[in-house]
Amino acid sequence: MSENPSPEILKFPEGFLWGLGTSAYQVEGGSLNSQWCEFEKAGGIRTGEASGRACNWWEDAERDFDLAQAIGINSLRLSVSWARIEPEEGIFNPAAIERYRRMLSALIMRNIRPMVCLHHFAHPVWFEKKGAFLARTCVDDFTRFVNFTVSELGDLCSDWLTINEPNVYAVTGYLDGAHPPALHGHIADYFNVLVNMALCHARAYHAIHRLQQNAMVSFANHFIIFTEAKSQLFDRLAARIASDAFNNVFINMIAGKKGPPFTGLNRYLEQVKDTWDFIGVNIYGGVDVAFDITKPGMGFTKRLTPKNGRTGDLTSTGKAMFGEIYPQGIKIVVEKLAKFNRPFFILENGVPDRADTLRPWVIATAVKTMHDLIRKGQHILGYHHWTLVDNFEWTFGYSMRFGLVELDPATQARQPRRSAAFYAAIIKENGLTPDLLRKYAPDALHEIFPASH
């Protein structure tokens, strides 16, 4: 990286991508035809809310693109809705493509490079009815959709994510039942879904590269920092199982190392091997893990929020969504995966924090952690904070607020939080200074610049 002009400025390399992450179902509004719409109607949202207009992007994403431009980002992660593009199997909707073309052009006009994710939790009802990622036909279905979408949008975008968080999709759908199809303890399905998602990802990866020589293609993996609750054998084992079955399982397939147990993936490893141009990291928190004999459906593991950990807002049942909010975990993940020799992109990181009290510390700590890693020679292409405007937080509806900008879903009024100005200032500086911390995140000042006062 470039010479650091003064130890008091944590400068980033020229061309570093400062961005924000979003997803279609959470921001577009007016969604139809996806399994999440059905789930909403069936009462799946804990707050009883409906996504409704969300952030109204289907009608006016440009309003938020103006806000993004004012913050100064040069990369925005969004997703396209498969349910809009292919509402019936094999039948594509030109109007949906037209709208996405206008959205991508609007970003480019604002000097913001789009990164498009092709599957972010939601998909068409017809696909769900066929068994979604449990049916082997999923590979042909997903590839057909990807081929069509990338052919239509490829002149406006070259950064692609095939699938967001296969591990979260599979846990919430098949182990803890929080997301559709809301099944509990289906361990075999959990691994089979992951295997099929790996096959979908790999076929999509090659399809995109055939259409676009210069494409950058990967997927986003969610990482949780798992620590044993007590230093005793069973808890250590539980932490190891949690880490292997959640953090590493998909990565191990794509790295061509091994497939999950009893799934037969090892036969297909050659097909999925090395289908990533960068390593996409979503990371929010860390939990303590204890062995729990009463939880066979969760691999005999129980997750606990570390005592005195920073948590962000608690859910209505008093739980911390991600355990302890732990942006320092970026270091653990990057150093562990450096052996795969791919650049990194931090694709999600943030905190539910309506009052914006913890978010500045989270941003500052993430930036400092990435700077340390880059200084030590790690290749990090960019950072996407989650998220631009408060949005529909899946089963938590509008109760959990991750935005740099506050949203009133009823009136659609927006109010930037202080973190928006802080992030804007970091981007303008292309780095972090003690003055910025004094102004926006004084609680992080001494951790980051110990010599400052």
Give the residues lining the site for ligand BGC (CB under 6 A).
23, 26, 164-165, 168, 222, 282, 348, 386, 393, 402
Q: Which is nearer to ligand BGC, 27 or 207 (CB)?
A: 27
Residue 56 CB, nearest distance to ligand BGC (Å)? 17
- Dihedral in degrees, nearest 10, Cα atoms 312, 317, 318, 323: -60
Which amino acid appears at position 169 of this protein? Y
311 φ/ψ angles, rounded to the nearest 5 degrees: -120, -20
Strands 344-348, 279-291: parallel, antiparallel or unpaired by DSSP?
A: parallel
Closest CB to ligand BGC among residues 350, 416: 350
Q: Residue 341 burial by CB count (10 A; 0-12/13-18/19+): exposed, middle or buried?
A: exposed
Nearest approach, Cβ of 120 to ligand BGC (angstroms)?
A: 6
What is the smallest separation between the CB atom of 325 and ligand BGC, expressed in angstroms?
Answer: 11
Smallest distance, Å, CB 311 to ligand BGC?
A: 13
CB of 27 to ligand BGC, least distance (A): 10
CB nearer to ligand BGC: pick between 40 and 165? 165
Is the CB of 12 or the CB of 174 nearer to ligand BGC?
A: 174
Adjacent-strand bridge partners of 416: 405
Taking the least distance from each CB to ligand BGC, the nearer of 171 and 374 is 171
64 φψ region: left (φ > 0), alpha (ψ -120 to 50), beta (else): alpha
| H helices present in 28-179, as ranges | 35-41, 57-71, 82-85, 94-109, 125-129, 138-153, 166-174
CB of 392 to ligand BGC, least distance (A): 9
For tokens 């070259």, what's the residue?
A: 158
Which helix (H) or strand (E) segment is 200 a member of? helix 187-211
CB of 36 to ligand BGC, least distance (A): 11
141 vs 393 by CB, closer to ligand BGC: 393
Structure-token pair, residue 398: 């509008």
Least distance from ligand BGC to the Cβ atom of residue 161, Å: 11
* Per-residue exposure over 282-297, b if at least 16 CB sit within 10 Å of its own CB, e if not: bbbbbbbbbbbeeeeb
By C-beta, is 158 or 282 nearer to ligand BGC? 282
Residue 408's contacts (CB-CB under 8 Å, 6 or more residues apart) are: 414
Structure tokens at 212: 């676009």
For 38-56, b where at least 16 C-beta lie within 10 A, e where not — what string? ebbeeebbeeebebebbbb
Minimum distance between the CB of residue 350 and ligand BGC, rounded to whole angstroms? 7
User: What SS3 state is found at 264?
Assistant: coil
Strands 380-386 and 159-164: unpaired
Nearer of residues 205 and 386 to ligand BGC, judged by Cβ: 386
Q: Which is nearer to ligand BGC, 243 or 282 (CB)?
A: 282
Minimum Å gap between C-beta 349 and ligand BGC is: 10
Closer Cβ to ligand BGC, 205 or 398, answer by number: 398
